Structure formats: C-alpha cells, structure tokens
C-alpha cells in the first residue's frame, strides 16, 4: 500500500480513537460493538475452525481472537479451539495493545506490518474483517490480495467488504460491487459463496479449497 494511503488510515484511526476512547469497535471504524460481532459471526460461522491455524489480516486490537476464544468457552464440552492465531496490522498502536491484551495466550502472535507487502505464511484459514475497506491507489489492490490470501490458505479464506449498493465510497473508505468481487473469486475458487443478509451495507465472501 502506498505510504500516503497508510498515513491517511493512521490519521483516520487516530481521530476515531480520540473520539471513541476505550471502545475498540468504534476506534477501528465499526458503527458499534454489535455490528462488529455480526460481521465476525458472518465470517466464522460457515468455517470449520477447530484445530486450524488462523491468519487475521488487519487484526486491530485482536477482537477476532477474543471472539474465537469466547466461542470456544461457550462450548467447553467440544474441542473447538483453534490451533494457533497470527494477527497482522500496519497500525503500531493496535499491535502493541493486542500483544499486551493476549500476552498470556498460547499460540498467539501479533506482527506490525503492511500485509499488502508481506509474504503471507501458509496457514489453514485467512480472515479479513474490515481491512479491505480503505482506499488504495495501488492498481488491482483488492484482487491481488484476494489471490495472495487464497494461495496462503490451505482450507479457506473469509473476508468482508462495504457494499456499493448501499454505501458510497469516499476519500477514505471504498465500497465494492458484490457480484463483481464474487465473479473474480469464482475464477480462482469454484467453491466461493456470497453472504449479504447480516448487515445492510456489508457483504462477506467465503472461499473454500
């Protein structure tokens, strides 16, 4: 990602953090905690995550890791814990806070990096929640990353995007046409599905090997 775009994103989150305080969901750009959780559910419910290694791109404060931990605790009689978690984010403050938050969690790591210029490791599942919503002047940015994620993931890829049918792009946030994105995903992975029934201005795509 171009450094000017990264600076814009940094300023966007700095501004939201000052307004939102300790509300992680709002600081990361979500309308509310509930809307963030609805998106996590849409991303994770179609996946088999038990015993899998998970890569979270644009991990923020590690809220997805917290969500996965809560699912596991809610069903203690079932062995549904993930094998490992790796979060990557280009916001240094987010990564620092996430490392402190999960310092005692086993098989959990956070990396400060621009994942668009990062060699993605081989994992079972790659998940992206919200991190593709930012404007990038890089040509073909989204589709290059989808292809890189699909190559990285051994089992599945799950990501969400703002829906251009209901959200108008601006200088910071970008919305996409669901059918166009799904068509590209199907060209890589015949087992790609679109879900858009959980939020008005958002859609999720699941790609399974």
Query: Residue 13: pLDDT above 80?
Result: no
CATH of 3-208, one of 3.40.50.150, 3.20.20.70, 3.30.365.10, 1.25.10.10: 3.40.50.150
- pTM attached to this predicted model: 0.90
Q: How confident is the model at residue 19 (pLDDT cuts 50, 70, 90)?
A: low
pLDDT value at residue 45: 94
27 or 135, higher pLDDT: 135
The arithmetic mean of pLDDT across residues 53-81, rounded, is 89
Report whether pLDDT(93) > 70.
Answer: yes
- Percent above pLDDT 90 for the chain: 73
Mean pLDDT on 122-147: 95
Domain ranges of the chain: 3-208
Res 165 pLDDT > 90: yes
pLDDT > 90? residue 16 = no
pLDDT top residue among 9 and 19: 9
Query: What residues contact 87, with CB distance under 8 A and at least 6 apart?
Result: 56, 59, 60, 62, 64, 65, 95, 98, 109, 110, 111
Least confident piece of the model among 17-31, 33-47, 65-79, 152-166 = 17-31
Q: What is the pLDDT of residue 200?
A: 86
Q: What angle do CA 207, 56, 160 make, to 5 degrees?
A: 50
pLDDT(175) > 60? yes
Q: In the prediction, which pLDDT does 2 show?
A: 73
Q: What is the CA radius of gyration of the chain?
A: 16
Number of helical H runs and strand E runs in the chain: 7, 8
């Amino acid at each position: 990602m171009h450094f000017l775009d990264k600076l814009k994103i940094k300023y966007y989150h700095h501004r939201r953090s000052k307004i939102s305080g300790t509300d992680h969901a709002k600081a990361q750009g979500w309308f509310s905690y509930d809307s963030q959780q609805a998106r996590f559910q849409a991303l994770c419910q179609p996946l088999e995550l038990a015993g899998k290694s998970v890569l979270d791109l644009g991990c923020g404060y590690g809220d997805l890791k917290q969500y996965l931990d809560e699912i596991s605790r809610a069903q203690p009689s079932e062995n549904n814990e993930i094998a490992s978690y790796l979060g990557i984010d280009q916001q240094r403050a987010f990564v620092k806070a996430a490392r402190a938050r999960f310092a005692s969690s086993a098989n959990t790591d956070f990396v400060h990096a621009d994942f668009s210029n990062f060699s993605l490791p081989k994992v079972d599942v790659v998940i992206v929640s919200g991190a593709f919503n930012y404007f990038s002047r890089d040509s073909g940015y989204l589709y290059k990353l989808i292809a890189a994620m699909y190559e990285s993931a051994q089992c599945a890829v799950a990501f969400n995007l703002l829906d251009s049918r209901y959200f108008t792009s601006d200088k910071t946030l970008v919305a996409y046409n669901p059918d166009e994105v799904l068509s590209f995903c199907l060209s890589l992975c015949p087992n790609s599905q679109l879900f858009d029934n959980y939020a008005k201005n958002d859609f999720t795509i699941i790609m399974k090997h």
